[in-house]
Amino acid sequence: SQTIHQWPATLVQPVGSPLSLECTVEGTSNPNLYWYRQAAGRGLQLLFYSVGIGQISSEVPQNLSASRPQDRQFILSSKKLLLSDSGFYLCAWSPSTRRETQYFGPGTRLLVL
Amino acid sequence: GQNIDQPTEMTATEGAIVQINCTYQTSGFNGLFWYQQHAGEAPTFLSYNVLDGLEEKGRFSSFLSRSKGYSYLLLKELQMKDSASYLCAPGGYQKVTFGTGTKLQVIP
């Protein structure tokens, strides 16, 4: 069966510090991968998605970036965090043969102070 | 662009039936998802409708009318554990757009 991991679960970072969140998927190959952010009381905002290694599509211009160095690894990064980057970050995957059904990881709760 | 409209909050009694409506305007529509999200947790997949009509899955059913841009999620025999947010999400090629969700509170 497929599983998706995210870490860390919780993170408190000062403004201006860098960020690296990691997501890995097990039990499948060539998945589509997604990064979402959910601010308090808000909906899920799609940040990035990837259909293959090195292929990243950005949905919202911001100070975040994403990379996919391996087939089942998706990384969300920032060089300098802003207060507005606080939120619940969710990684999701979908099978390449059924692209839309997405399954979410447990999420990382980020608080920027 | 995508526009999704669903009620912000609903309250229902344990054992009752509740219907959560969703209307959407979207481009490149392939089907509509419903997800459940408990407070502080990640969303979990509930249903996916591609064709018009009602699909039943246990206590949960989901309906879609593509021509009307309308869907609903029907929850029967409500249990306290059904208290959660329910996200309506029209899906297109490679991407799904999530609404802000309906927060359902089940009371005894």
Give the whole-angstrom CA distance, residue A72 versus residue A30: 7
Chain B residues with CB-CB distance to A104 below 8 A? 42-44
Nearest CA in chain B to A39: B100
Q: How far is B52 from chain A (nearest CA, A)?
A: 18
CB atoms under 10 Å from CB of B85, counted, come to 21
The per-residue pLDDT for range A56-86, each reduced to its tens digit, is 998 876 789 999 999 999 999 999 999 999 9
Indicate yes or no: CB of B42 within 8 angstroms of CB of A51: no
How many A×B Cβ pairs under 8 Å?
Answer: 46
* DSSP E strand stretches across A8-113: 10-13, 19-26, 32-38, 44-52, 55-58, 64-70, 73-78, 87-94, 103-104, 108-112
pLDDT at B81 over 60: yes
Query: How many angstroms away from the CA of A99 is the closest CA of chain B?
Result: 5
Q: How far A113 CA sits from the closest chain B CA (Å)?
A: 20
More confident residue, A101 or B104: B104
Please determine, for residue A2, whether its predicted confidence score (pLDDT) is greater than 70: yes
Residue pair B55/B34 in contact by the 8 Å Cβ criterion: no
Nearest chain A residue to B6 by CA: give it. A43
The answer to whether the CB of A13 falls within 8 A of the CB of A19 is yes
Smallest Cβ–Cβ distance between A100 and the set B41, B43, B91 belongs to B91
Parallel, antiparallel, or unpaired: how do β-strands B18-25 and B70-75 relate? antiparallel
Tokens, residue B48: 């996916």
Task: Give me the residue label for tokens 């802000």.
Answer: B100
Tell me the percentage of chain A whose pLDDT exceeds 70: 96
Q: Residue A100: list chain B partners with CB under 8 A.
A: 30-31, 33, 48, 91-92, 94-96
| CA angle (A7, A11, A42) in 5-degree steps | 95
